[in-house]
Structure 1
Amino acid sequence: MPQPAAVSARPEPAAPIAADLLDFVRRTAADTGLIASLPLDPQGRTWVRLEGPGGSEAWVIGWPPGTGTGWHDHAESIGAFATASGELKENALAVRLPASGWKTLELAEGVDRERRLGPGQGRAFGQHHVHEVLNESETEHAVSVHAYYPPLPLIRRFSRSGTVLRLEQVERPEDWQ
């Protein structure tokens, strides 16, 4: 007589996709109590780490007037972010960069993208998405929620001069936690 196959009582959770992360950051950005609890510092960005969906990492980030991230990517992670208060500007490159093996790249014309994200607005992105996020307000803080999957293995930081993008630094999680 055949034996029944073993059945797992608990299926493995599926890894989140970019749409899941975007849904999470939008819902979290709408949590006025959580957003109001973030301590804001007029001198620099502040952040609180959250548990994101499906093993992702998430952050609530406060942006003083005139602050930004500089050009960077999130390596092999997909991600999403949403503005909870204020307005953020994202400058992005519509091009996939090589994962490694380069220090300087000449960018083609037409790869620059710009978007402004007010309260409740967000966006998702794939691996190796190169961008910078800015709070261009001269007077108002902005607050946003970000999520990444898998949890960030590293961040590559870049400088940009015209069409030249230069890899400046690679940061690992221990550098920002």
Structure 2
Amino acid sequence: MPDVRASAHPHADAGGPSASELLDFVRRTAEDAALIASLPLDPEGRTWIRLNGPGGAEAWLIGWPPGTGTGWHDHGGSRGAFAAATGELTEQSLAAQLPTEGWKTLELADGVDRERRLGDGRGRAFGPHHVHQVLNLSHDTHAVSVHAYYPPLPLMRRYSRTGQVLRLEEVERPEEWA
């Protein structure tokens, strides 16, 4: 498994790398052609390699076959960033901070939906309460991306969405991702 180590970086605070430092890391890593080429691509499902992120961050190199996506999810309170290394990804997100506990179903207000396309080398950072889904909408081209999170993901909440209704479906823990 390839091992990517970030150079030492002073952090904005003792709480690990900032979202902008994570974005810098994923963009630089997405430019590593040898690393990107080392990821085995599967025509049916996503593939991934775990990387060493900066300052103790969790990082992943992910391959996306045409037509695949994550479904709606959050990152359990971690901040993060991701960048497309090859191909194009579409991120659909909510421009609203959702409560993290005590609900199973929420009705979303009008106007909270955001969509951005991230092509080769483009990335984005996000804060700890970000809810989104990432999709490869291509019919014939794989995409590869680099992701980093700090603190390392304590959990991920998965949601389903019908219209303006968002429903909490499950909570995944890191031991399930081995």
Distance 2:150 2:76 in 1: 10
**Secondary structure at 1:145 match in 2:** strand
Residue 6 of structure 2: aligned partner: none
Cα deviation for residue 124 of structure 1 reads 0.1
Greater Rg, structure 1 or structure 2? 1
Residue 6 of structure 1: aligned partner: none
Deviations 1:103-129 (A, max 9, x none): 000000000000000000000000120
Distance 1:128 1:35 in 2: 29
Percentage of matched positions with identical amino acids: 75
Deviations 1:51-79 (A, max 9, x none): 10010000000000000000000011000
Residue 155 of structure 2: aligned partner: 154
Distance 1:129 1:76 in 2: 8
Say how many residue pairs are matched: 167
What is the 5 A alignment of 1:16-55? 16-55=17-56
Cα deviation for residue 160 of structure 1 reads 0.3
Distance 1:75 1:127 in 2: 7
The residue type paired with residue 84 of structure 1 is A
TM-score by length of 1: 0.92
CA RMSD of aligned residues (A): 1.3
Residue 8 of structure 1: aligned partner: none
Where does the alignment leave 5 or more consecutive residues of structure 2 unmatched?
Answer: 1-9
Distance 2:176 2:113 in 1: 29
Distance 1:89 1:103 in 2: 26
Query: Hey, which bits of structure 1, 4+ residues long, moved more than 2 A?
Result: 11-14
Residue 69 of structure 2: aligned partner: 68
TM-score by length of 2: 0.92
Residue 166 of structure 2: aligned partner: 165
The residue type paired with residue 130 of structure 2 is H
Where does the alignment leave 5 or more consecutive residues of structure 1 unmatched?
Answer: 1-10
Residue 116 of structure 1: aligned partner: 117
